[in-house]
Amino acid sequence: MQYTYTKNFNTSYSSIDRTGKLGLVELMSLNQEMITEFYGSVGSDNLILREKCNAAWLYTRTKVKVISLPTWNTKTKAVAYITSMSPIRMEIEVDLVDEEGNFLFVAKTEMCAIDFEQRKLRKIDTLEFPQDAETMPSNLPEAFAKNRTQFDATDLSYSQKVYASDTDFTDHTNNVRYVKFLMNTFDTSFYDENQITGFEIQFAKESKQDDILDIYRKETSGNEYSFLINKGDEAIIKAVINYEQLK
C-alpha cells in the first residue's frame, strides 16, 4: 500500500528569514515536522517505537532542491511519502507546492531505526511499521553526494556549546539546530545577495548538552559552500549549500 501524509501550511512570519521568504532553517523544520507526522499517521512515530520496540527513527541524511521559496502569508501544501526502502533504511520525500500545484521545494531524507539497548540498527520488519508499505516515484531522483572536502584550521568559523534548549526528545541535539549553526557562519550580505538552490546534510554522529562543537565553512566553488561540524576530532555533521546570486 502507498502511504502518504498531507498537510496545509500558511507561511508564517516566524518561518521567514530577513528576505521575507521561508528560511533554510525553517524549511528543514517543516521537513522534520512532515516526516514525524508521516510516521505518526502510520502508527510508527518515536513515541510508539520507544514504547513498543525500544527503538527510534534516526535521520541519516537529507537532500533538498529549492525551486522557489514561499513568501510570508503564502498558502502551501506539503505531502510526505516513501520513495525507497531496504531492510534497514528508507527514504521519505517531502514536496511543498503552492495553491496552483507548483513545486517550491523537494526534500528527501534517509531514515533508519536504532535500538536503544543494543545501540545497533534495527530491521524495519522488526518495528511497529506497516509491512505492506510500498514506494512511490521520487521527484528528486538524484543520488546523495559524498562530501570529501578537506578542512583545516583556517576554515574554522566559530565554536558552539550545546545547551539544553538545543536538545530534543532523544536527548541529543535536534537536527534543525545544526542547520542554524551552519547558517550562523554567514553575515546578512549572503542573505541579501543570494538565493539558496540546494542543500545536503549528513548526520554522522550525535552530540549532547555541554558538548563543544567546532563549525567549519569552506567555499568549494563559485556557488557552493561545504561545512563540517566536529566534536573534538569526531565529525558530527557534513553539509553543502548551493546558491545563486540574485539579479
What ranges do the domains of the chain cover?
4-126, 153-245
- 219 pLDDT above the threshold of 90: yes
Fold designation for 4-126: Thiol Ester Dehydrase; Chain A (3.10.129)
Average pLDDT over residues 14-28: 96
User: Which pLDDT tens digit goes with each residue over 169-184?
Assistant: 878 999 999 999 999 9
The CA distance from 4 to 35, in Å, is: 10
The pLDDT > 90 percentage for the chain reads: 95
| Per-residue confidence (pLDDT) for residue 83, from 0 to 100 | 98
- 137 pLDDT above the threshold of 90: yes
> What count of other Cβ atoms lies within 10 Å of the Cβ of residue 223?
14
> What count of other Cβ atoms lies within 10 Å of the Cβ of residue 92?
24
- 247 pLDDT above the threshold of 90: no
Residue 221 binned pLDDT confidence (cut-offs 50, 70, 90): confident
**Residue 12 grid coordinates:** 508564517
Average pLDDT over residues 100-123: 95
- 4-126 and 153-245 share one fold: yes
Number of residues that this document lists for the chain? 247
Q: Which CATH architecture has domain 153-245?
A: Roll (3.10)
Range of lowest pLDDT (3-7, 40-44, 59-63, 221-225): 221-225
> Which residues are registered as beta bridge partners of 87?
none
